[in-house]
Amino acid sequence: MEKMTITEGLAEIKLIEKKMEKKKTMIVSNLTRFKQVKDPFEKEGGSQTTIRQEMQSVSDLQKRLENIRSAIAKANLFESVTVGAQTKSIYSWLIWKREILENDEKFKQSIVNQIKSQIDRQSVNPQVWKTEAGGVELCELILNADYGEQLKALENLGDIKEKLDGQLSLKNATVVIEF
């Protein structure tokens, strides 16, 4: 069994992907040649042999990539991270970060923007209401969500994101995977 940190595994995955791409490009570009043209891999046993070896190499790299990814996924399911008062598995935090965070930030930002816009509009161009008695009174803006609370929630998301990134980097550098 081989052991490495998640950080090392992620770095190796990038390297494997580059190697596979180069090998695939070489294979595809050497699939055919005219009989009259000298075999560029004659010294290595010929093009057919070289192509077969390279295809096996790609297959081996794919298996290694799968093993590393699986080991990382397993570690992410069982290792946890605490950010503020929240403790979740790395897997759950990654889902939150990839699928929830951005939408939640946009949603909270739209709430903040809408409230601010309404407050600004009312202060610049106050609306009036005609009463039943024929008088006029200033319209009072009612906020159904607390502006300060929404700003704080938006800021809190940013804090969690920053702290989470640091915690994930730390875990990736210290958690050892086996495959």
pLDDT in tens, 78-122: 999 999 999 999 999 999 999 999 999 999 999 999 999 999 998
Angstrom distance (rounded) from CA 53 to CA 122: 74
Tokens of 130: 């005609």
Q: What is the pLDDT of residues 18-42, one digit of tens each?
A: 999 999 999 999 999 999 999 999 9
Angstrom distance (rounded) from CA 63 to CA 136: 77
Domain boundaries, the chain: 3-78, 87-174
